[in-house]
């Protein structure tokens, strides 16, 4: 999987019009002499045939060497390592908050009957359609500029996390809530919920012990996707709140056309996506016995 | 009567969404009727005016009306959204048809390719494309189209597989019709309705993504009026002129929400029939 991502990225990057050596020296405006160009080409191995470059790069990736950033002149792995923590904190916190909102909203919607359902559906569409850049801006306007409760620029510590996490969590909760509400409504009408009620369990008991578990399955299966969308949202959110992290590093690298850094961050995100997807599938299997091989209804 | 009250909020949402879209289309096609002022003319003396009857949504740092620029930006923003969706849907349909109707090895190959593309979540694929071709309005439309294609392909593949096994298609096989006849006369028309709903949902999503790119400074360059670019411009003056970011963003949200409401409505219809 990662090999395929690396290959695709390598060849996509090579399509850039213009000489990569020139980009290292500061773009077309730098008026670098031919000697300097040749030196850089030799240094980065750009004078070798494409296939050799490709194999070289794969070999380096296997040993954990992601190359050196053109713009920061630091090893890419080191740059990613120093920025990863901030983004990961942001993504995990947003995932947790988004889940909490989605579960609460979906339960309340099923509880509230037809009116509750209609309200929740409207709110979910509004939340899911809310772009990160606008929500973040509005939150800054409301809580920093107008009320002055929270800092507009992300400061270290939990206070600085509140606005960025809210910005990322609300649209996510909209998506997850839509899926949860549909499956929760279906589960509440299922025979097992009826039999649990017939045994005299309270509505809350039915919800906590039976239906919620079933309803969570499709949403858990989407964890990988959710994580991925959080990472790309992090690019926007880290820019708005001037928060250091992988997203802003990526944006800076794109603007500078810093090829090794972009490739490295993309590889890191793809790896994170794969891990999150596998984790989501494992969670799905844990929650839903039907999808376990040898479970009550056999393998799927 | 009870049924009426149950359906009323949904109908209202559909009517409101249609109204929003109609207004946006009017802005895109006849901007001068709705906002006669020049969106690019600079009046430094009238800069940073807050919203008032004279300047409905306020003015920006160069004295250009925010309302005027929103109306005149509709054409650019909507065509970027529509272009991106068209590209994404065409590519997605191509890949989805190959995987859904082709031989097993083609399905295997295409599905693996889609899995690899899914590992570039969200804007990542678009950002990668912009590294290659540099920022700009057309580039961001193509980038968003490419980035959304895998998602469409996956949905269309599953639709194709469902329709392929339907009794009416099997009947055509029994009648001895060739694969092309089956595809054009039976499979494609049956997938088309779901496709149409997907397009409506997609335009909203594409507008948001393309504006995100502009917001990051990777889309339409200034001074052209485009919603995402206006947002990026206003961000510099967030503390002093909130209207410069708030209103363009609000229009993007309204456009995206209207597309979502109508798209879901169409999807529900396609599922019922």
Model confidence pLDDT, tens digit, residues A15-54: 554 455 555 544 444 455 556 656 655 555 555 666 666 6
Place of tokens 């649209």: A171
Average pLDDT over residues A7-16: 59
Residue A238, both tokens: 């880290």
Q: Which residue of B has its CA nearest to A234?
A: B123
Place of tokens 């001895």: B176
CB contact under 8 A, B6 and A274: no
Q: How many CA atoms lie within 13 A of A130 on its CB side?
A: 25
B214, B245 contact by CB (below 8 A): no
B/e letters for B15-52, b = 16+ CB within 10 Å, e = fewer, are eebeebbebbeebbeebeebbebebeeeeeeeeebebe
Torsion of CA A169, B149, A122, A228, to 10 degrees: -10
Give chain A's mean pLDDT: 73
Report DSSP letters for B183-228, one per residue: IIIIIHHHHHHHHHHHHHHHHHHHHHHHHHHHHTT-SSPTTS--HH
A231, B122 contact by CB (below 8 A): yes
How many beta carbons lie within 10 A of that of residue A147, not counting itself?
9
Write down the pLDDT at residue A50: 62
d(CA B245, CA A129) in angstroms, rounded, equals 17
B148, B85 contact by CB (below 8 A): yes
Write down the pLDDT at residue B46: 73
Which of A10, A4, A18 lies closest to A56 in space, CA to CA? A10
B259, B208 contact by CB (below 8 A): no
Chain B hits for A228, Cβ within 8 Å: 118, 121-122, 124
A101, A169 contact by CB (below 8 A): yes
pLDDT at B1 over 60: no
How many beta carbons lie within 10 A of that of residue A95, not counting itself?
20
Which of A268, A213, A287, A247 lies closest to A94 in space, CA to CA? A247
Angle between helices B66-101 and B243-272 (to 10 degrees): 30
pLDDT tens for each residue of B176-219 = 787 788 888 888 887 887 788 888 888 888 888 888 888 888 87
Q: Which residue of B has its CA nearest to A225?
A: B121
Shortest CA gap A13–chain B (Å): 6
Write down the pLDDT at residue A271: 79
CB contact under 8 A, A138 and B252: no
Chain A hits for B252, Cβ within 8 Å: 131, 134
| Of B6, B132, B211, Cβ closest to residue A131 | B211
Average pLDDT over residues A196-225: 75
Write down the pLDDT at residue A6: 64
Residue with the larger pLDDT of the pair A14 and B263: B263
Write down the pLDDT at residue A49: 61
Mutation target to probe the A interface, by most A beta carbons within 10 A, among B130, B131, B209 is B131
Share of chain A above pLDDT 70, in %: 70
Residue with the larger pLDDT of the pair B39 and B76: B76
Long-range contacts, stretch A180-183, CB < 8 angstroms, 24+ apart: A180/A102, A180/A103, A180/A105, A180/A106, A180/A215, A180/A216, A180/A218, A180/A219, A181/A105, A181/A106, A181/A109, A181/A110, A181/A117, A181/A120, A181/A121, A181/A124, A183/A214, A183/A215, A183/A217, A183/A218, A183/A219
d(CA A179, CA A172) in angstroms, rounded, equals 11
Write down the pLDDT at residue B91: 92
Residue B65 in 3-state DSSP? strand
B/e letters for B73-93, b = 16+ CB within 10 Å, e = fewer, are bbbbbbbbbbbbbbbbbebbb
pLDDT tens for each residue of A105-160 = 888 777 776 777 777 777 777 777 788 888 888 888 888 777 777 776 766 667 77
Angle between helices B66-101 and B2-29 (to 10 degrees): 110
| Of B13, B216, B261, Cβ closest to residue A235 | B216
Which of A202, A269, A208 lies closest to A235 in space, CA to CA? A269
CB contact under 8 A, B252 and A137: no
Give chain B's mean pLDDT: 81
The mean-pLDDT minimum among A9-23, B76-90, B130-144, B224-238 falls in A9-23
Shortest CA gap B238–chain A (Å): 8
CB contact under 8 A, A138 and B246: yes
- Maximum average pLDDT range among A260-264, B41-45, B59-63: A260-264
Could you give the angle at the alpha carbon of B16 between the alpha carbons of B264 and B194, nearest 5°? 20
Residue with the larger pLDDT of the pair A79 and B250: B250
d(CA B124, CA B32) in angstroms, rounded, equals 37
CB contact under 8 A, A132 and B128: no
Average pLDDT over residues B87-110: 87
How many beta carbons lie within 10 A of that of residue B13, not counting itself?
21
Please tell me the pTM assigned to this model. 0.77
How many beta carbons lie within 10 A of that of residue B112, not counting itself?
12
CB contact under 8 A, A5 and B119: yes
pLDDT tens for each residue of B148-160 = 898 888 888 888 8
CB contact under 8 A, A138 and B204: no
Average pLDDT over residues A91-103: 87
Q: Which residue of B has its CA nearest to A123?
A: B257
Chain A hits for B204, Cβ within 8 Å: 129
- pLDDT band of residue A268 (cuts 50, 70, 90) is confident
CB contact under 8 A, A131 and B212: yes
d(CA A269, CA B1) in angstroms, rounded, equals 53
- Maximum average pLDDT range among A84-88, A221-225, B128-132: A84-88
B135, B221 contact by CB (below 8 A): yes
d(CA B249, CA A127) in angstroms, rounded, equals 14
């Amino acid at each position: 999987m990662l090999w395929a991502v690396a290959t695709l990225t390598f060849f996509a990057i090579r399509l850039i019009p213009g000489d990569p050596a020139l980009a290292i020296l500061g773009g077309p405006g730098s008026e670098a002499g031919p000697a300097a160009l040749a030196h850089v080409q030799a240094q980065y191995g750009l004078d070798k045939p494409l296939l050799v470059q490709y194999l070289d790069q794969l070999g380096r990736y296997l040993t954990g060497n992601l190359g050196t950033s053109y713009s920061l002149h630091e090893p890419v792995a080191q740059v990613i390592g120093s920025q990863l923590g901030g983004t990961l904190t942001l993504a995990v916190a947003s995932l947790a908050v988004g889940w909490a909102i989605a579960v609460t909203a979906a339960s309340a919607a099923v509880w509230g009957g037809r009116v509750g359902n209609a309200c929740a559906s409207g709110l979910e569409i509004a939340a899911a359609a809310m772009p990160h850049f606008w929500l973040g801006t509005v939150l800054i306007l409301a809580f920093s500029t107008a009320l002055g409760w929270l800092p507009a620029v992300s400061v270290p510590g939990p206070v600085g996390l509140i606005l960025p996490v809210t910005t990322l969590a609300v649209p996510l909760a909209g998506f997850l809530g839509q899926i949860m509400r549909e499956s929760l409504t279906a589960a509440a009408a299922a025979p097992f919920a009826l039999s649990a009620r017939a045994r005299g369990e309270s509505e809350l008991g039915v919800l906590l012990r039976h239906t919620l578990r079933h309803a969570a399955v499709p949403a858990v299966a989407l964890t990988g996707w959710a994580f991925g969308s959080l990472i790309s949202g992090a690019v926007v959110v880290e820019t708005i709140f001037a928060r250091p992290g992988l997203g802003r590093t990526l944006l800076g690298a794109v603007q500078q056309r810093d090829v090794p850094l972009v490739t490295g961050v993309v590889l890191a995100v793809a790896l994170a996506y794969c891990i999150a997807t596998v984790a989501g599938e494992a969670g799905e299997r844990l929650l839903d016995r039907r999808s376990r091989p040898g479970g009550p209804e056999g393998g799927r | 009567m009870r049924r009426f009250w149950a359906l009323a909020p949904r109908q209202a949402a559909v009517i409101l969404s249609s109204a929003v879209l109609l207004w946006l289309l009017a802005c895109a096609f006849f901007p001068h009727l709705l906002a006669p002022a020049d969106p690019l003319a600079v009046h430094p003396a009238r800069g940073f005016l807050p919203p008032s009857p004279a300047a409905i949504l306020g003015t920006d740092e160069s004295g250009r009306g925010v309302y005027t620029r929103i109306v005149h930006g509709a054409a650019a923003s909507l065509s970027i959204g529509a272009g991106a969706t068209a590209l994404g849907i065409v590519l997605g349909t191509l890949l989805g048809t190959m995987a859904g109707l082709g031989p097993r090895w083609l399905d295997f190959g295409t599905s693996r390719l889609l899995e690899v593309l899914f590992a570039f979540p969200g804007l990542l694929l678009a950002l990668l494309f912009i590294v290659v071709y540099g920022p700009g309005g057309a580039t961001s439309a193509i980038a968003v189209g490419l980035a959304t294609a895998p998602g469409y392909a996956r949905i269309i593949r599953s639709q194709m597989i469902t329709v392929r096994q339907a009794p009416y298609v099997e009947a055509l096989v029994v009648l001895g019709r060739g694969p092309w006849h089956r595809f054009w006369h039976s499979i494609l028309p049956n997938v088309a309705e779901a496709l149409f709903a997907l397009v409506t949902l997609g335009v909203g999503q594409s507008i948001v993504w393309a504006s995100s790119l502009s917001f990051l400074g990777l889309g339409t360059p200034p001074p052209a009026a485009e919603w995402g670019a206006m947002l990026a411009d206003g961000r510099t003056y967030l503390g002093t002129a909130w209207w410069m970011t708030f209103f363009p963003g609000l229009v993007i949200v309204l456009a995206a929400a209207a597309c979502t409401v109508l798209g879901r409505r169409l999807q529900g219809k396609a599922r019922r029939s």
